[in-house]
Amino acid sequence: MSTLGSRIKNLRIEKRMTGDELGKVLGISKSTISLYEHNKSTPDDNIKKKICSYFNVSFDWLMGISPIRSVGINQNPGKGVKIPVLGCIATGIPIETTEDILDYEEITPELAATGKFFALKIHGRSMEPRMLDGDVVIVKRQDDVESGDIAIILVNGNEATVKRVKKQTDGITLIATNTSVYEPHFYSNKEIKKLPVQILGKAVELRGKL
């Protein structure tokens, strides 16, 4: 579960900073940073505001009150924009607060300006040969897609899956490329609400391993 300490740690790691470097920015020691990150001490409101200002995140997000942070991605003008590569996404845990960050990928500032993005590492063979185990898919966050789009979907609270979506008036069908591993599965409108079937985003780019 995400805590104040883990959020501070993730912000520092995203910025590729050491505890000593962050301590200098905030005017405190690296040992104090370590205490914060391990939830053995809590920063006062002044330090919290400095953290929010430096990392450009909202106070409510830092405190775990809101799942939305001011900037979901770190951007340097004129350079690539870094987005987190997630190993998995679980139900009920906002993408911004997940601790399962494997790495970071860069997208162009032009693409980043069109919305919020994250990346997901592919597990399994259901989308072969187009997407292979270990590939990384760049995802634009949105709660709906067009019929025929490849989407990242949570079904019944399980780990997120990557499938092509076919929309019908009475429900949707999730379609794998490799039908020998995963047969097309239809969910009625009633099942979509009951399970639920939740669309997290649209796959916009694939990055394969050599």
Task: Determine the Cα–Cα distance for residues 68 and 195; give it in Å rounded to an integer.
Answer: 24
The catalytic residue among 163, 166, 167, 202 is 163
Taking the C-alpha atoms of residue 114 and residue 52, their distance in angstroms, rounded to an integer, is: 24
Q: Which two tokens stand for residue 99?
A: 């601790």
| Catalytic-residue membership of 163 | yes
Helices within 98-164 (DSSP H only): 109-112
Q: Using DSSP, state whether 181 is helix, strand or coil.
A: coil
Residues 6+ apart with CB under 8 A from 5: 36, 37, 38, 39
Q: Is 126 a catalytic residue?
A: yes
Q: Which of 48, 82, 116, 126 is catalytic?
A: 126
| Angle, helices 4-14/30-37, rounded to nearest 10 degrees | 120
Active site residues: 126, 163
